Amino acid sequence: MTTTDPQVVGINADVSVGEARAFEEDAELVYPSLHDPQGRQLLRLPKGVVNTAGYPFTIIVDPEGRLAATRIGAIDEAELKRLVLQLLPT
């Protein structure tokens, strides 16, 4: 895998690790998730990027590590593909 390969990582804010893992299992997530009940990972993001009152949210980072898009609320597969595909080399 190169650094330009798309990668997905979740951040799970459930207080309990058990609840976090249960959600991941129920949702059949196929990507890794960081357990972050204190929001420490979110605090590392630039101010205003996410509204933690609006879960879920999606952050898309380009291959250079810059924020390319953010969405608050559920995002469907078609919208996610549209956002990610425009970042991939042609």
Specify the pTM: 0.61
Q: Which of 34, 26, 46, 28 is nearest to 9 (CA)?
A: 34
Residue range 30-66, pLDDT digits in tens: 888 888 877 776 667 777 776 666 667 788 888 787 8
- Count the residues in the chain: 90
Q: What does the pLDDT read at residue 17?
A: 84
Contact call for residues 68 and 87 (beta carbons, < 8 A): yes
Q: What does the pLDDT read at residue 43?
A: 66
Q: What does the pLDDT read at residue 1?
A: 45
Q: Per-residue pLDDT for 11 more than 50?
A: yes
Q: Per-residue pLDDT for 77 more than 80?
A: yes
